[in-house]
């Protein structure tokens, strides 16, 4: 049986036997009681009596970034032993830390992605720091204020980078006693250390140092340390820490918790090396480490925050009035709308709220979302090259990763710009979906309910028109509606794509009657259902006065294609929004997204649904939405008991009384063709007086000219307010 002695700076006195790599190890734990002379005496006592001596908390060398310094006390300790090798964990620590970070990320994908990390300390944790940086983390070093009580301000304290902190730190620590380097975790917490810990998502380093310097409140933090014991975990749990990751392998067969330091693991590997004369260098240890089978322990300390699948969703103002209504930007209503809209488009993504309470009644899986907003309106996105929006969505994806999201949905026009999410998915490190598969499914379900509520008894005998039929949503709606109704009219300004779509439908659904047109006016009067899904601005999409009595218009576009003034001309026609969705659980969006409580747009609901089902994959991308994907997302919709919300018309729920009134008016108009003809003539004249527009943008509308200096000044004010809100 191999024997090792572990010298603790201030720790237990015990002897234990354990199994490691298939062999028995006898471990002697020795307490030096912070006494260097006692440590020397113990080394002399066990020299030649054990196979390896390990120095726990007593490094022989200090490392920070590329800088290295020998520690004076460590040199004195290693000089005592004449027969037994003395190790301190230095050779294996960096390699095991890097490997452990990789394994932990595989076990819980995204746990480290894009996080803000406070190294506490960074001293002798180069492997940990490098691995975290490779996961996109932003690192700051607490070493100066930990060891020298420097102010926690930029350039002096915790804002320093590794290379800034290294020379300053090591020159002053090479002869500092070990008690200063490794304070006991049970000592009294230092005062005035809240700020750097508030900044961080992850606190990484040594467990004793973290417990000594961290404040009493560490809610929602992740702690990453070399090793920890159950007492350490209980302390961090009391402070509100969510997760603790211990990076070193466990020598215990009964627990996965890495309670052994790198020095102890290095001693075990040294004792068990096949060739006792092999040099104690990295190559020797690499071969031994390759035989280790382990995953770093990831302990969830707050069960109510664990086992939650996280997602993100991006929205944007549909018009400049949404900017005016934001509490931070109400002052912009005193400026020209064109100026505000143009300058706001350049703002970076803004975190809006946290979405909580979603849970599947079927599986019990809980979800949490993070809502982000771009500041560009649809008009601004369409006027700029697609790279303009891509760059902002890429930043939003990075922010979402930091929040722990593993999938991000693109809302409204962010899913329309450019290639409809393909480039964003390629450049982002998390999954991306446009949400359009569930948008299609919810639209068709809502349209079905609306037509039934308007008195239809046999949907297969009706006729449907899809305006914007060659778009990403319109094309798949057309194909699925043709399978249900058989008589469809496809309208688009792209005649060549209309021909292709018609041929596709006729191949998929033999017997379907398919008409195509570049304008809806001639055929709209024959249709029972009109679905409009365009991205057009400044034009009239639908002449509602030409609709047949009792027709249903399902307006999928966001912002909508049809305004309330137009709809009011025909009270017998039902205009509904695309199907909104009720997410199961006690859902709280934390922000007014413009819908009733617990109600989500279908594109947002798709993102939440994929997270709930654990489908962290690029799902709906591009303009060619798969019919199979629409059917699959609808199956998931049913599986997790999502529901279509009450149908709404211009932000108001349509009541049974309103349905009844529309049915009555439609019946009267159908029974009296002359009255209907007069109504069409009258409403046609009234419609001509309403400005031609779509999505709230009037025909020929343009931004007013503006001075560049004024725009720059306003932009600076907007950005300043945004940064203030971020803090």
Domain ranges in the chain are 2-90, 91-258+290-305, 310-437+583-645, 450-579+652-698
The whole-angstrom separation of Cα 269 and Cα 290 is 11
Q: What does the pLDDT read at residue 301?
A: 93
At residue 721 the predicted structure's pLDDT band, cuts being 50, 70 and 90, is: very low
**Residues 489 and 527: beta-carbon distance below 8 Å:** yes
| Other CB atoms within 10 Å distance of the CB of residue 323 | 22
Q: What does the pLDDT read at residue 699?
A: 62
Instruction: Give the chain's mean pLDDT.
Output: 87
Among 231-245, 414-428, 682-696, name the one with the lowest average pLDDT. Answer: 682-696
pLDDT digits (tens, 9 = 90+) for 661-678: 999 999 999 999 999 999
DSSP string, 584-650: SEEEE-SS--SS-TTEE-HHHHHHHHHHHTT--S--S-SS---HHHHHHHHHHHHHTT-EEPPPEET
Q: What does the pLDDT read at residue 159?
A: 44
DSSP string, 679-707: HHHHHHHHHHHSPPEETTEETT--PPP--
pLDDT digits (tens, 9 = 90+) for 462-488: 899 999 999 888 999 999 999 989 899
> Which of 454, 452, 447 is CA-nearest to residue 577?
447
Among 169-178, 183-192, 299-308, 373-382, name the one with the lowest average pLDDT. Answer: 183-192
Is 281 exposed, middle or buried, given 0-12, 13-18 or 19+ CB atoms closer than 10 A?
Answer: exposed
3 state DSSP class of 491: strand
Instruction: Decide if pLDDT at 154 tops 50.
Output: no
> Which of 691, 685, 425 is CA-nearest to residue 539?
691
The architecture in CATH of the region 91-258+290-305 reads 3-Layer(aba) Sandwich (3.40)
The fraction of the chain above a pLDDT of 90, given in percent, is 59
Q: DSSP H helical segments within 67-142, as ranges?
A: 72-78, 90-107, 126-134
Reading the block at residue 569, the tokens are 């001309």
Relative to beta strand 431-433, strand 652-653 is unpaired
Q: What does the pLDDT read at residue 305?
A: 65
The whole-angstrom separation of Cα 356 and Cα 347 is 26
> Which of 367, 371, 368, 432 is CA-nearest to residue 399?
371
pLDDT digits (tens, 9 = 90+) for 166-178: 555 677 888 888 8
**Residues 196 and 157: beta-carbon distance below 8 Å:** yes
Instruction: Decide if pLDDT at 192 tops 60.
Output: no
Q: What does the pLDDT read at residue 186?
A: 58
Instruction: Decide if pLDDT at 695 tops 70.
Output: no
Q: How far is CA 203 from each of CA 98, 103, 141, 210, 581, rounded to the nearest angstrom?
A: 16, 18, 10, 8, 39
**Residues 54 and 20: beta-carbon distance below 8 Å:** no
The fraction of the chain above a pLDDT of 70, given in percent, is 90
The architecture in CATH of the region 2-90 reads 3-Layer(aba) Sandwich (3.40)
Q: What does the pLDDT read at residue 197?
A: 92
Reading the block at residue 116, the tokens are 């803000």
CATH of domain 450-579+652-698: 3.40.50.720
């Amino acid at each position: 049986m191999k024997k090792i002695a572990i010298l603790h700076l201030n720790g237990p006195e015990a002897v234990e036997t354990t199994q490691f790599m298939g062999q028995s190890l006898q471990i002697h734990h020795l307490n030096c009681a912070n006494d260097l002379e006692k440590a020397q005496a113990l080394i002399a006592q066990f020299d030649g009596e054990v196979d390896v001596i390990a120095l726990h908390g007593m490094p022989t060398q200090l490392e920070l970034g590329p800088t290295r310094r020998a520690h004076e006390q460590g040199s004195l300790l290693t000089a005592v032993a004449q027969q037994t090798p003395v190790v301190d964990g230095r050779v294996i620590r960096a390699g095991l830390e890097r490997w452990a970070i990789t394994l932990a990320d595989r076990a819980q994908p995204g746990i480290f992605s894009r996080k803000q990390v406070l190294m506490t300390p960074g001293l002798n944790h180069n492997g940990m720091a490098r691995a975290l940086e490779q996961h996109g983390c932003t690192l700051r070093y607490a070493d100066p204020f930990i060891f020298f009580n420097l102010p926690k301000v930029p350039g002096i304290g915790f804002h320093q980078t590794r290379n800034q902190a290294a020379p300053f730190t090591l020159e002053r620590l090479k002869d500092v006693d070990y008690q200063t380097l490794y304070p006991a975790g049970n000592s009294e917490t230092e005062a005035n250390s809240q700020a750097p810990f508030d900044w961080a998502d992850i606190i990484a380093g040594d467990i004793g140092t973290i417990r000594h310097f961290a404040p009493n409140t560490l809610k929602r933090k992740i702690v990453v340390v070399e090793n920890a014991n159950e007492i350490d975990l209980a302390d961090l749990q009391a402070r509100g820490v969510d997760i603790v990751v211990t990076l070193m392998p466990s020598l215990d067969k009964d627990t996965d918790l890495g309670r052994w330091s790198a020095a102890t693991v290095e001693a075990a590997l040294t004792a068990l090396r096949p060739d006792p004369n092999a040099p104690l260098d990295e190559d020797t240890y690499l071969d031994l480490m390759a035989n280790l089978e382990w995953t770093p322990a990831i302990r969830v300390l707050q069960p109510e925050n664990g086992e939650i699948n996280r997602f993100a969703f991006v929205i944007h103002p549909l018009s400049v009035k949404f900017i005016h209504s934001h509490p931070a930007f109400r002052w912009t209503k005193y400026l020209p709308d064109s100026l505000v809209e143009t300058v706001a488009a350049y703002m970076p993504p803004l975190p809006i709220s946290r979405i909580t309470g979603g849970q599947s009644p079927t599986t019990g899986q809980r979800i949490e979302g993070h809502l982000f907003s771009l500041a560009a309106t649809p008009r601004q996105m369409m006027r700029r090259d697609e790279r303009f929006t891509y760059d902002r969505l890429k930043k939003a994806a990075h922010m979402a990763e930091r929040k722990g999201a593993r999938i991000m949905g693109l809302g409204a026009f962010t899913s329309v710009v450019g290639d409809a999410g393909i480039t964003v998915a390629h450049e982002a490190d998390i999954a991306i979906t446009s949400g359009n598969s569930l948008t299609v499914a919810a639209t068709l379900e809502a349209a079905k309910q609306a037509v039934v509520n308007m008195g239809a008894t046999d949907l297969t005998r009706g006729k449907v028109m899809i305006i914007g039929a060659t778009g990403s949503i319109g094309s798949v709606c057309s194909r699925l509606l043709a399978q249900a109704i058989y008589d469809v009219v496809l309208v688009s300004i792209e005649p060549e794509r209309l021909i292709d779509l018609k041929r596709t439908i006729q191949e998929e659904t033999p017997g379907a009657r398919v008409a195509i047109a570049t304008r809806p006016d001639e055929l709209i009067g024959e249709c029972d259902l009109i679905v409009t899904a365009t991205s057009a601005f400044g034009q009239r999409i639908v002449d509602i006065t030409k609709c047949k009595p009792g027709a249903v218009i399902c307006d999928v576009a966001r912002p909508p294609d049809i305004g309330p003034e137009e709809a009011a001309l025909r009270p017998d026609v039902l205009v509904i929004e695309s199907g909104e969705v009720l997410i199961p659980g006690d859902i709280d969006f934390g922000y007014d997204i413009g819908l009733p409580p617990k109600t989500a747009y279908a594109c947002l609901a798709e993102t939440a649904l994929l997270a709930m089902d654990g489908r962290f994959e690029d799902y709906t991308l591009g303009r060619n939405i798969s019919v199979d994907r629409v059917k699959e997302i609808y199956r998931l919709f049913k599986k997790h008991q999502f529901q279509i919300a009450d149908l709404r018309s211009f932000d108001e729920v349509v009541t049974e009384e309103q349905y009844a009134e529309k049915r009555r008016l439609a019946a009267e108009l159908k029974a009296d063709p002359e009255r209907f003809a007069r109504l069409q003539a009258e409403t046609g004249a009234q419609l001509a007086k309403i400005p031609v527009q779509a999505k709230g943008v009037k025909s020929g509308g343009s931004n007013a000219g503006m001075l560049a200096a004024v725009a720059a000044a306003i932009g600076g004010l907007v950005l300043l307010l945004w940064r203030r809100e971020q803090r």
